[in-house]
Amino acid sequence: MKNIAVLGSTGSIGKNTLEVVRNLNRNGYPVSVKYISANSNVELLAAQIEEFKPKAAVIFNEASFNDLKSRSLDHKCEILCGQAGINEIASRDDFELVVNALVGFSGLIPTTEAIKHGKDIALANKESLVVAGELIYSMLRGSEAHLLPVDSEHSAILQCLQGEPMKQVTKLILTASGGPFRKFTKEEMPNVTVEQALKHPNWVMGSKITIDSATLMNKGFEIIEAKWLFNIEAENIEVLIHPQSIIHSMVEFSDGSVKAQLGVPDMKVPIQYAFTYPERVRSDFPRMDFKQLKNLTFEEPDLEKFECLKLAYDVIKAGGSYPIVLNGANEAAVELFLKGKIRFIDIPALIKSALDKHENHVSPSLESIVGIDSWSRKFVYEAALELA
Ligand SMILES: NC(=O)c1ccc[n+]([C@@H]2O[C@H](COP(=O)([O-])OP(=O)(O)OC[C@H]3O[C@@H](n4cnc5c(N)ncnc54)[C@H](OP(=O)(O)O)[C@@H]3O)[C@@H](O)[C@H]2O)c1
């Protein structure tokens, strides 16, 4: 029996994770959900409590906490609130694996808490590695915890690397769909709407990562994520636009051979692999039908049109605390864009201003990471007022 906690169980990855749990239980691989968490979606969290019968549920928003507590559910479990609730469950010894499906910076402290308590982490929350890769890997060295990627690209790379020593790897190739604006001209970009940006061609995801995919910032984050997960220099990680999202990523080896992992775009596959790694378990998920495939195409990303990816490359070169600013400024700018307060093209402009103002810190502590994140958001909120 695998005992797990699902943080962010009401989100896109969280719901897919619970679908994986149903699949594994149907296919002879028992999984018990001991803990779940949400920010404010009381309705769905209550339904998940009834179905999965966890020991405790954590809800971040205080009003939602009171709402959930006031409900008379058939399954009685502890209802905890906020970061204190996450810290409390992380310290319990009745589960082995945490699925971190929280969005943005909110996922960082849960990642560090899980490592402190020696829990394995199926990590969807790539932002944890973007802002604190160095710190997380130094914590992992003194812990029994392991990180397992959930991102489809990183899961693809992990699958391609099975049986292959890292010293034979010459290049990781991260594929990207190119998002909804792949075919737009640079001149069309100032007028794109929130509705257009939220229409991802191949994946259904939470709104923040959908906008990150439209700006290609998501791919920049994934380079940083891959650098830490696979201990490889960023200059050996290439980004390739592959609009069909069938090849989830590739690895090139010293003899010139390339391995790719393919499949229908469905997050349940990488989530399940993180659960069962290095084994595989049967699934009832949709299968590839190669006869239906018309073509697989590849192109280089346009860094002039997708300035966020260019900024990510610059930040990777600069290192230190710049990735924290990249992430914090991006989160604030995406939030403002989703609220209709700034234009799509203001997102990279605001992030660039924050990066230009920042003074680098080498090997920041958790406390300074939190401080730099707050500074970056505040900077963007203030700078955005001047745009209005
Ligand atoms: N979606 C995908 O297909 C996909 C693919 C690869 C990687 N990822 C990564 O997976 C992570 C989750 O993405 P997602 O698309 O699943 O996001 P999402 O749909 O927005 O879900 C986020 C989850 O976190 C909770 N949450 C939001 N803000 C919170 C806060 N401040 N404190 C505590 N909990 C909070 C939400 O609760 P409520 O429901 O109550 O708001 C929800 O359960 C991201 O890091 C993303 O980059 C996602």
Q: What is the pLDDT of residues 97-124, one digit of tens each?
A: 999 999 999 999 999 999 999 999 999 9
- List the structure tokens of 274: 């993180």
Pocket test of ligand 1: the residue of 6, 12, 15, 89 to mutate, having most ligand atoms within 8 Å of its CB, is 12
- Domain limits for position 360: 319-388
Q: Tell me if 241 is assigned to some domain.
A: yes
Same domain, 121 and 158: no
CA-nearest residue, atom 26 of ligand 1? 39
Does 278 fall in a domain?
no
Q: Would residue 31 be called left, alpha or beta, if left means φ above 0 and alpha means ψ between -120 and 50 degrees? A: beta
Compute the average pLDDT of residues 8-32.
97
Does the structure show a pLDDT above 90 at 6? yes
Task: Examine residue 276 and state whether it is found in any structural domain, yes or no.
Answer: no
Q: Are residues 356 and 213 in the same domain?
A: no
Q: Are residues 223 and 203 in the same domain?
A: yes
Residues 258 and 346 in one domain: no
300 and 167 housed in the same domain: yes
Q: Which of 150, 170, 204 is at the close of a domain?
A: 150
- Report if residue 19 sits inside a domain: yes
Where residue 203 falls among pLDDT bands split at 50, 70, 90?
Answer: confident
Residue nearest to atom 9 of ligand 1 (CA): 124
Ligand 1 pocket test: pick from 68, 80, 108, 209 the residue with the most ligand atoms within 8 Å of its Cβ: 209
Using a 6 Å CB cutoff, which residues line ligand 1?
A: 8-14, 38-41, 60, 101-103, 106, 124-127, 151, 203, 205-206, 208-209, 267
Q: Work out which ligand 1 atom sits closest to the CA atom of 124.
A: 10
Q: Dig out the tokens for 322 from the structure.
A: 């710049």
> In which residue are the tokens 């995406």 written?
334
**Residues 129, 247 within the same domain:** no
Least confident of 127-136, 198-207, 356-365: 198-207
Q: Are residues 157 and 140 in the same domain?
A: no
The answer to the question of residue 280 being in a domain is no
121's enclosing H/E stretch is: strand 120-123
Whether 299 and 353 map to the same domain: the answer is no
Is pLDDT of 247 > 80?
Answer: yes
Domain with residue 326: its CATH number is 1.10.1740.10
146 and 160 share a domain? no
Provide the number of structural domains found in the chain: 3
Q: What is the mean pLDDT of the chain?
A: 97
pLDDT value at position 276? 97
- SS3 for 252? strand
Same domain, 196 and 300: yes
Is 274 inside a domain boundary? no
Treating both helix axes as pointing N-terminal to C-terminal, what angle do 207-215 and 307-318 enclose, rounded to 10 degrees?
A: 90
Residue 118 CA to residue 23 CA, distance in Å, equals 26
Residue-wise pLDDT tens digits, 365-383? 999 999 999 999 999 999 9
Q: Are residues 341 and 383 in the same domain?
A: yes
* 272: in domain: no
User: How far, in Å, is the centroid of ligand 1 from the Cα of 268?
Assistant: 15
CATH of the domain at 112: 3.40.50.720
Q: Report pLDDT for 161.
A: 98
Which residue, judged by its Cα, is nearest atom 15 of ligand 1?
Answer: 206
pLDDT at 388 over 90: no
Give the span between the Cα atoms of 49 and 44, in whole angstroms.
Answer: 9
210 falls within a domain: yes
Are 243 and 373 within one domain? no
